[in-house]
Every structure is written in structure tokens, then in C-alpha cells.
Amino acid sequence: MPTDPWLAHIVSKFESEILADWIQHQLAADTLRRDLMSEAELVEQSRAFLGLLREAVQKGNLADTTGPEWTPVREMLACVSRARAKQGFTASETATFVFSLKQPLFARLRGEVGTDVDALGDAVWRTTVLLDKLGLYTAESYQKGREEVIARQQQEMMELSTPVVKLWEGILALPLIGTLDSARTQIVMENLLERIVETGASIAIIDITGVPTVDTLVAQHLLKTVAAARLMGADCIISGIRPQIAQTIVHLGVELTNVITKATLADAFTVALERTGATIAPRSGHV
């Protein structure tokens, strides 16, 4: 489909008037979020978008917004919707940015085309199809932006929740909190092994007090971590096994016989100290 003569005509002829109308519409609309975005910013975004739209409409074909003529427009929209996703706009508030341009454009089209109903209908239809596409693209970018935020938070949570703590010379502790899945086990394992190399630790205590449930899969992940640490030359002790979890492990028939297990981190620490040749004794006078 070739470029629409009427649309190209009005956006180049009335650019500043359309911009003024559009901004007025946006400011009057109840989807405006003054708490999240200043008026100056909105004006700036609207002006930039309308300018890019004018260039694209003049040279581009309206049927296909994925073409190279539309790249600047798409980039600008993606940028705006990602920024809005981070600022806390809803999906419809973000998409309204594009959809609210329809009314000022239609008003100008009506004024220019005059009484030729067929021509006016055509021009309005093409414009509405174009803006719908751009609006949907905005919504998609918004969603992508939100997904990126979620992915980043997941990553951060994973890193936060697997600290490796040095308890004593040669003794590391790994307090696990939350469910263990394969992706997390991988990160836990890597963190632990790297810290073993860094600190030269010979004993690692894996504390599972914060692990809500232990099923066969979680147990398998734990055993993998223990085996990998052993290959590096460090022994593992699993501590923090709650009474319920001890029962579950036995009912499931999970073999933990090759691993030292202790009920509390304190017990595990005592064993680890003994292994490394240190002891804790109360000072004389304190009993």
C-alpha cells in the first residue's frame, strides 16, 4: 500500500497544531500520571514522536510498520514504553500515549478532506490501522520491559539468597534459604566451589534450615553439591535438618549415609572445628 497522501499532508502542514491538540488531550485525559512524569517530559516525548512519525509517513508505506522507514519510530516507542514500565505506568496508560493521537489527527483530516466521504473514510481507516499497530507495538515493548525487570529481580534474588560465609579458618558455611531447583543448585555449587578455591577451606557446612521442603529432587541437588565439593578436596556437612524433614527423607528413601548430617549449625560447626584441629573451651571461671 502506498503512502497515504492525506495523512502525510496533514502531519507536515499542521504538525505544531496537532502537537498542541494532542498534548492538550493527553493532559486532560484521566490516564495522565502527573505523579510519575512531568509535563515537560510529556511534551518532549510527544514532540519527538510526532516528528519521527511525520518523517516515516512521508517516505514509508503505512501497511508495514516493520520496515526500515519505521525503525526510528519503533525505537523511540520501545524506549518510551520501557521507561514507563520502569516508572510504574500501567499497560493501558502506556498505550494511550499512541492511541490519544487519533483524535487530533482525525479532526485535522476531517477539516482538510472536506465533504468527500469516501476519501475521508479511507484516510481515517488507514490512519487508525497505523496507530493501532504502533499502539500494540508500544504495549508489547511495555510487556518486554516488565519482563526484563522481573528477570533482573529473579537474578538478583538468586545471588542474594546464596551467600557463602567464612565461619573460621578453613570452614565455610552455606545457609540455604528457599526452594532448591536445578538453576539455583548450579549457582549455589559455583559460588561454593569458587569460595573453596579462594579461601582454601577444607570443610563446608550446608545449612538447610531455610529450605521449606526436601523432596527427592532437592536431595539429589544437595548430594550433587556435596560430591562436587568433595572432588575439590573439601568435606561437606549438611546441617539444619528439621524433624519433619528427617522423617520425609527416610520416607522417601533418600540415601544420605555418605554425608555427615547434623541437626543444627552449631553441632556441625563443632565437628568442623574438631576436624581442623581447633577446640572451643569455656574460659576458666565461667562454667
Q: Where along the sequence are the contacts to other proteins (CB under 8 A)?
A: 186, 189-190, 193-194, 196-197, 200-202, 224, 227-234
Of residues 177, 234, 239, 179, the one with CA closest to residue 207: 239
CB of 221 to other proteins, least distance (A): 10
CB of 228 to other proteins, least distance (A): 4
Q: Is 264:239 a contact under the CB 8 Å cutoff?
A: yes
Dihedral over alpha carbons 238, 240, 245, 246 (to 10 degrees) = 60
CB of 176 to other proteins, least distance (A): 17
131 vs 193, beta carbon nearer other proteins:
193
**Can you give the three-state secondary structure of 258-286, one letter per residue?**
CCEECCCHHHHHHHHHHHHCCCCCCCCCC
C-alpha to C-alpha distance for 188 and 208, rounded to whole angstroms: 12
CB of 82 to other proteins, least distance (A): 35
One-letter amino acid for residue 27 of the chain? L
66 vs 258, beta carbon nearer other proteins:
258
176 vs 196, beta carbon nearer other proteins:
196
96 vs 261, beta carbon nearer other proteins:
261
CB of 194 to other proteins, least distance (A): 6
CB of 151 to other proteins, least distance (A): 23
228 vs 246, beta carbon nearer other proteins:
228
Q: Is 68:108 a contact under the CB 8 Å cutoff?
A: no
User: What's the DSSP call for residue 38?
Assistant: -
64 vs 198, beta carbon nearer other proteins:
198
**256 CA to centre of own chain:** 37
Those residues with Cβ within 8 angstroms of residue 101's Cβ, 6 or more apart along the chain or in another chain: 18, 22, 50, 131
